[in-house]
Structure 1
Amino acid sequence: MPHLTLHTNVSRDEIPDDFLTTTTKIIFEMIGLPEKYIVVNVIPDQIMSFGGCTKPCGNAFLTSIANLGVQENKNLTKAIMEHVKKTLGIEPTRMLLTFNDAKGMDVGHNLTTFAPDQ
């Protein structure tokens, strides 16, 4: 159930049509959870600055029930930021990526949660 949300001041018309699918594949390859549960959400055209400057920037949040940790988060940061720089032109110095290691009981899907049955 990884969920990446990216807020950016990049305009909608500058986001490639395949950005969602290519980002999903990166997350799938890095985290290894079923691709059918990965959500990628881009919120473009935001009025935002980074460090007081309005050049292209982003603020992202990645939540996952599993497969996050110190080294995993470093690897994900590198892969996602390189991808965002290549496709959206946002320099890694102009973006934050915040991780949330959620518990299964805190995420609902398909009329239940991801908590293990007891």
Structure 2
Amino acid sequence: MDYLNVSEYIHRLETNVSADKVSPDLPKKICQVISSSLGKPLQYCVATVVPDVKMSWGGTNEPCAQATLVSIGALDVNKNKQHSKAFFDLICKELQISPERMYIHYINAPSSDMGYNYSTFHDILG
């Protein structure tokens, strides 16, 4: 990853939607979806929204987005379908983008690969 967030559950959303059309509450709403959908404590959730990205989808500059969700557990082929629905429902509504113009990349990280509070989640979670 080329960005750093301290969290057990990270969501990074990049979009070509302009900043003035992105609610300042969107990161908070994404954190709530992460916590609810993944069944994880809100205190460990971090969401980053990066608007105004120079981005093209299918050769056009119509509104689009890409997201990455990093989690320790709570991800698998069936759960990711449920997570996708929750994230697409929120993000497509908030950003007024078509669900055909957004990808979500799920990364199931080992607890030893997530640093937190001078250690890793391996020490915290076992």
TM-score by length of 2: 0.89
Matches within 5 A, 1:2-81: 2-81=9-88
Unmatched 5+ residue regions in structure 2? 1-7
Identity of counterpart residues, as a percentage? 36
Between the aligned partners of 1:82 and 1:50, the Cα distance in structure 2 is 20
The aligned residue for residue 114 of structure 2 is: 107
Between the aligned partners of 2:60 and 2:68, the Cα distance in structure 1 is 21
Query: What letter corresponds to residue 21 of structure 2 in structure 1?
Result: E
The aligned residue for residue 97 of structure 2 is: 90
What secondary structure sits across from 2:35 in the alignment? helix
Unmatched 5+ residue regions in structure 1? none
TM-score by length of 1: 0.95
Give per-residue Cα distances to partners, 1:32-68, cap 9 Å, x unaligned: 1111110100111011111111100001100000111
Query: What letter corresponds to residue 87 of structure 1 in structure 2?
Result: E
After TM superposition, the runs of 4+ consecutive aligned structure 1 residues lying more than 6 A away are none
Query: What letter corresponds to residue 73 of structure 2 in structure 1?
Result: A
What secondary structure sits across from 1:115 in the alignment? helix
Cα shift at 1:81: 0.9
Cα shift at 1:116: 3.7
- Matched length: 118
Query: What letter corresponds to residue 84 of structure 2 in structure 1?
Result: T
